[in-house]
Structure 1
């Protein structure tokens, strides 16, 4: 097949995980800069918090990008990663839940700190606000956030990356938060010169406190998932699948039992299977045992660089415990 025909079959929209994260980091930096600048100009702590929150999110995205690159380099088949493999023979999957967990804790902590400041400001009588500048920022940020969420979600249909999935949730959360700010600022602008104008100084701290209450629990789901993976909690669905495959192998080949050990760490799936054979079985060649391993591996599925599969055969149950 000639080169033009091959190019015609290649989808034009095929971003990599690292590429998506790079674009997200650039967009996050833009939003963070807008938030800090417009927040200071308008006098809105809610906007400043939005900018600082975006800055923290962008910093964790940089770390996520570094981890994604490490995993991609580790899985590369060329000789350039040989030294990396020798230093980290167990791979880098364990870094993913660590980054996701730290990100969630950082963002939740920022929300708690901002909530305390909002309550203090509200009790002190609020603060004046330039609603026109605040509205310009909020409208621009909502558009950027929705565009980035759409881009990340579309890319992740093929990539299926936990990092990108969390990044998309972050952009959607940012869009929702900033949309709430936009509504509040429009209302604040509308009541200027009316009998309700006395409410204006309280709008910014009240909205900030409400936003923090909404934001705080959202990253905790990622923290819980990260803790489960760090603690090697057995994923139920994967364990059931491995048990089903192993049970069929035991019944088909006459083993007396098996032991299965399963964990999910980031994008990595770690599976260890020990099949217990009866004593006195006829000898088999290594090629025959390898063929059986291939059969079991195909039945388990998901053969990729992110699957760590160990299959052993023994007559001694203690080796399987």
Structure 2
């Protein structure tokens, strides 16, 4: 399935769970289920934004974007997770207020039925997206997978919480049931704060064109060092950054009279060799290889 198809699946799935969650939450007055449904509604909007962004990036426009439009991807993902972060903060404040004001009455049986349905549905979508994300280097698909991971965790938390609440109704501690719903929202919101922070941090790095993940850098530097030794270059300077699906690699080889590659033709052959070796790293690569005898130009 194409990137567009995966994103559309995410949109339809989120829309379905959003409608079910909000309607069900209003019917039984459950803040946790409303939070789950509200999260899904926001997911619909954010997934549509990802879909539009992915479509726009694919359109070629070298005149206006000579270096590509990949920077749009991390910008959209940052916006997406800023919204999710705000949702978690609002839910955190709201649940804290409810806990301090006597909790919230919820029918545990109906809530439990919703949580079973929601958990199963989320697990199915998450399984598909996780499988697809492994075979793709799309930041949008990764973001969708993380988004559904959060939704699945929400659903599991709802399931466990309302299962506990249902069991509690058969004990002498039944009066604590009113605190289960806001307590779940509080705990889930606290837990879910981490993922938006990590995603925002990582994609801000891309917008700022900072170095990619250490394993990518290590692989590139190893290949460059091998070439440096093979052709007896004096030194090499490597610069890398990753923006969206594009990996920018700039390599400057510094040579002298004893180096094994002196002509333009030999340099082009080295470029071909390095280009072939770099394919194993993946991503859409922007590879620039230069040769100089003066380190000033490296």
TM-score, normalized by length of structure 1? 0.83
Runs of 5+ unmatched residues, structure 2: none
Report matched runs for 1:75-94 at 5 Å: 81=60, 84-94=61-71
3-state SS of 2:247 partner: strand
- Match for 1:313 among 285, 291, 298? 291
Does the alignment pair 1:182 with 2:159? yes
Answer yes or no: is the 8 Å Cα contact 1:67–1:95 preserved in 2: yes
Residue 77 (structure 1) aligns with:
none
Flag the 1:211–1:243 CA change in 2: closer, same or farther, 3 A: closer
Does the alignment pair 1:18 with 2:12? no
Flag the 1:288–1:303 CA change in 2: closer, same or farther, 3 A: farther
Per-residue CA deviation, residues 82-121 of structure 1 (Å, 9 max, x unaligned), is xx22221111221222222222222122111111111111
How many residues were matched structurally? 297
Report matched runs for 1:1-321 at 5 Å: 15-71=1-57, 73-74=58-59, 81=60, 84-192=61-169, 195-235=172-212, 236-278=214-256, 286-302=264-280, 306-320=284-298
Flag the 1:234–1:64 CA change in 2: closer, same or farther, 3 A: same
3-state SS of 1:232 partner: coil
Per-residue CA deviation, residues 132-154 of structure 1 (Å, 9 max, x unaligned), is 33223212111110000111122
3-state SS of 1:52 partner: helix
The Cα shift of 1:302 comes to 4.2
TM-score, normalized by length of structure 2? 0.89
Answer yes or no: is the 8 Å Cα contact 1:41–1:133 preserved in 2: no
The Cα shift of 1:304 comes to 6.9
The Cα shift of 1:262 comes to 0.8
3-state SS of 2:135 partner: helix
Judge which range, 179-188 or 189-198, deviates more.
189-198
Residue 5 (structure 1) aligns with:
none
Judge which range, 162-171 or 221-230, deviates more.
162-171
3-state SS of 2:248 partner: strand
Measured in 1, the distance between the counterparts of 2:216 and 2:103 equals: 53
Runs of 5+ unmatched residues, structure 1: 1-14, 75-80
Answer yes or no: is the 8 Å Cα contact 1:238–1:262 preserved in 2: no
3-state SS of 1:91 partner: coil
Measured in 2, the distance between the counterparts of 1:257 and 1:16 equals: 42
